[in-house]
Structure 1
Amino acid sequence: MRLDWITRISLHNLRPLLSLFSADLAIDLGTVNTRVYARDRGIVINEPSAVALDNRTGDVQAVGKEAKEMLGRTPGNIRVVRPLKDGVIADFKVTEKMLNYFIQKAHQRRTLVHPRIVISVPSEITQVEKRAVTDAAYRAKAAEVHLVEQAMMAALGAGMPVTEPGGNLVVDIGGGTTDIAVISLSGIVYSHSLRSAGNHMDEAIMSYLKRKYNLLIGERTAERIKIEIGSAYSLDEPLSMELKGRSLIEGTPKMITADDGEIREAISEAVSTIVSAIRAALERTPPELSADISDRGIVLAGGGALLKNLDKRIREETGLPVCIADNPLCSVVLGTGKVLSDFRLLRRISIE
């Protein structure tokens, strides 16, 4: 009798005990940054998607911010890997190690951790790429894994009324991909994922300076130039910046001054590709939803939304009102976090 009572008590207490150990997590697995949202605690991790590995042993030396600081500054035996390329997993084993590290860090390094995880992925992702994400999460000790589309999460995080019958156009410009989607009644009417985003702008800046000034710069410098003086449309006040790198002719350190006009010219192709894709999305939207979008306008999310005057350029080209989400960098992970507490909505929008 006593044994039966103990068994009943222990089974009854098992569920709350397990949920004590493991909080549900929402993960925005980005090409440039990975953000983790824990239920009831908000965003607990916001770090670069980078891992530093020892070439001889394969051991992880650093993850996140520390690894990003090492980028382009490592000795021969250490390499810094960005395990995601264009929004999808390029290096499976390293992604698994990175996810494991972030999940443990989100749970304050507790070992008995088996959380339920919701991960956002680009819209035009193949079955193989989906499988790679879910497998990496299960190997990082997840109990359940659900995949959701980034554009839908960006719309939720930006506070758009996605559950109502009405057209919402969201443009999520990340590091590896730009996701454009027309959403109505918690479903995606039209979506398109472009492999043209923040990273491609950085590469364009690097090749422009190489071509025009014979100056070789690194990824981190290119990103800083884009943030500080990059723009999509002419600025009211001109900006300039001193750039340091290596001269391709003399092979010595060299410094030049570049202005916003030159950087705008460098990234113009990447910006034009995004604007053309928005126009294509508008052309394929059903007329009723088009009427809603003309009232509500276009919402920009993701780090790329912070590019100076990008909203002005899109407004000029489409003739529609354009606004930037309140917290564009975190809108995807905040939207994914909202889904954690609304399981019925998650059921409706998760990708099989």
Structure 2
Amino acid sequence: MVSRMSGSWRASAEPAAFPPRPKGGADGAGAADPVAGERSLTRGYAALDLGTARTRSLGAGGAAIAERPSSVPADARGASTDGAGSLRPLRHGVVVDQAACNRLVRLVLRDIGLSEAWPLERVLVGVPVAATSSNRQAVRTAVHAVAGCEVTLVEEPLAAAVGIGLDVTDSTPRLLLDVGAGIVEAVVINAGAITDARALQLSATTKEGVPSYAIDSVVTMTSMLLRDVPAHLRPAVRDTGLAVTGGGAAQPRLLRRLRTALRIPVHPAPEPAHATIRGLTRLCRRPSLADRLAGRGR
């Protein structure tokens, strides 16, 4: 399905309602390396990347990114959505089970050891560009119910761009592809905003990343986005190339197909699965920039 909203096309493997854009613009929890070269988070702040398959977080005073599957044990009635005795509260990056999401958020905040940071002042959370207003409110409700503080939403491709060191406020447009477990989003970032975007919803991913049947769709979606960049901006986009983030960013077949089809440099990010949580973490340290970018996530 291809849907058009506010001047941009978004491709979807499943029917989805995308909101109009504002004008202007395996199992077990684990820990990853801390954000290199960064100071501890401002006390009272936390960053949270709620993904379809895995959730990543970092809190005030934390030395490492905490990571766990995006699932919780089934309730007393034995309800389960994955056939393995657990509930998965997110699909395509958005909340589909509010109560289970609240439980997941509680587990995540426990993972990052925030006992010394309470009361929290603010939690920054990533959301897909394609999330509707009700999707966004569900995330805000889940986090606020547990944290009891201000919840700031930042669109995940913007956070990922910050996480890999791009200057998202620059007027030079940048092309970014964020390859998640349940949703793939291609965006153009210019002067602190996502100016065009497309999204492909995935029913499942493989250990390698995007399933074979969907690779062509991802490439076509990204090609369409590049094609629709205004002619006077296209040379700059071609010079800077495509940044690829998310858990599927290092998939060799996908990268080869992108390079062949787009004929521009394609740059998979280092530690691409952690780009979004790193970006949210850095935004915790730059409140003014977080507020500016959050205008797109509200």
Q: Indicate the TM-score class for this superposition, using the shorter chain for normalisation.
A: 0.7 to 0.9
Pairwise CA RMSD? 2.4
Q: How does 1:53-72 map to 2 (within 5 A)?
A: 53-56=74-77
CA displacement at 1:194 relative to structure 2: 1.7
Q: Conserved in 2, the CA contact under 8 Å of 1:104 and 1:111? A: no
Give the whole-Å Cα distance in 2 for the aligned partners of 1:42 and 1:181. Answer: 31
Partner of 2:49: 28
Q: Conserved in 2, the CA contact under 8 Å of 1:30 and 1:84? A: yes
TM-score of the pair, normalised by structure 1: 0.67
CA displacement at 1:287 relative to structure 2: 2.2
Partner of 2:158: 152
TM-score of the pair, normalised by structure 2: 0.79
Partner of 1:331: 275
Residue 108 and residue 141 in structure 1: after superposition, are their counterparts in 2 closer, same or farther (change >3 A)?
Answer: closer
Give the whole-Å Cα distance in 1 for the aligned partners of 2:152 and 2:200. Answer: 23
Where has structure 1 moved over 4 Å in runs of 4 or more? 108-112
CA displacement at 1:109 relative to structure 2: 4.8
For 1:143, which of 149, 173, 176 is the aligned residue?
149
Q: How does 1:183-222 map to 2 (within 5 A)?
A: 183-196=189-202, 200-202=204-206
1:46 aligns with 2:50: no
Which stretches in structure 1 are left out of the alignment for 5+ residues?
1-19, 59-66, 203-222, 233-266
Partner of 1:313: 257
Residue 201 and residue 100 in structure 1: after superposition, are their counterparts in 2 closer, same or farther (change >3 A)?
Answer: closer
Q: For residues 151-174 of structure 1, what are the alpha-carbon distances to aligned partners after superposition, in whole Å with 9 as ceiling and x for unaligned?
A: 111111111221211011010000
Residue 308 and residue 282 in structure 1: after superposition, are their counterparts in 2 closer, same or farther (change >3 A)?
Answer: same
- SS for the counterpart of 1:286 is coil
Q: For residues 37-89 of structure 1, what are the alpha-carbon distances to aligned partners after superposition, in whole Å with 9 as ceiling and x for unaligned?
A: 2245354311110111243488xxxxxxxx9xxx75x5xxxx21111011110
CA displacement at 1:101 relative to structure 2: 1.7
Q: For residues 265-297 of structure 1, what are the alpha-carbon distances to aligned partners after superposition, in whole Å with 9 as ceiling and x for unaligned?
A: xx3321011001101111221223311111111
Which stretches in structure 2 are left out of the alignment for 5+ residues?
1-40
Q: Conserved in 2, the CA contact under 8 Å of 1:35 and 1:43? A: no
For 1:118, which of 124, 142, 149 is the aligned residue?
124
Q: Conserved in 1, the CA contact under 8 Å of 2:174 and 2:237? A: yes
Q: Conserved in 2, the CA contact under 8 Å of 1:22 and 1:107? A: no
Q: Conserved in 1, the CA contact under 8 Å of 2:181 and 2:247? A: yes
Q: Whose helix fraction is larger, Structure 1's or Structure 2's? A: 1
Give the whole-Å Cα distance in 2 for the aligned partners of 1:21 and 1:279. Answer: 40
- SS for the counterpart of 1:337 is helix
Give the whole-Å Cα distance in 2 for the aligned partners of 1:140 and 1:48. Answer: 19
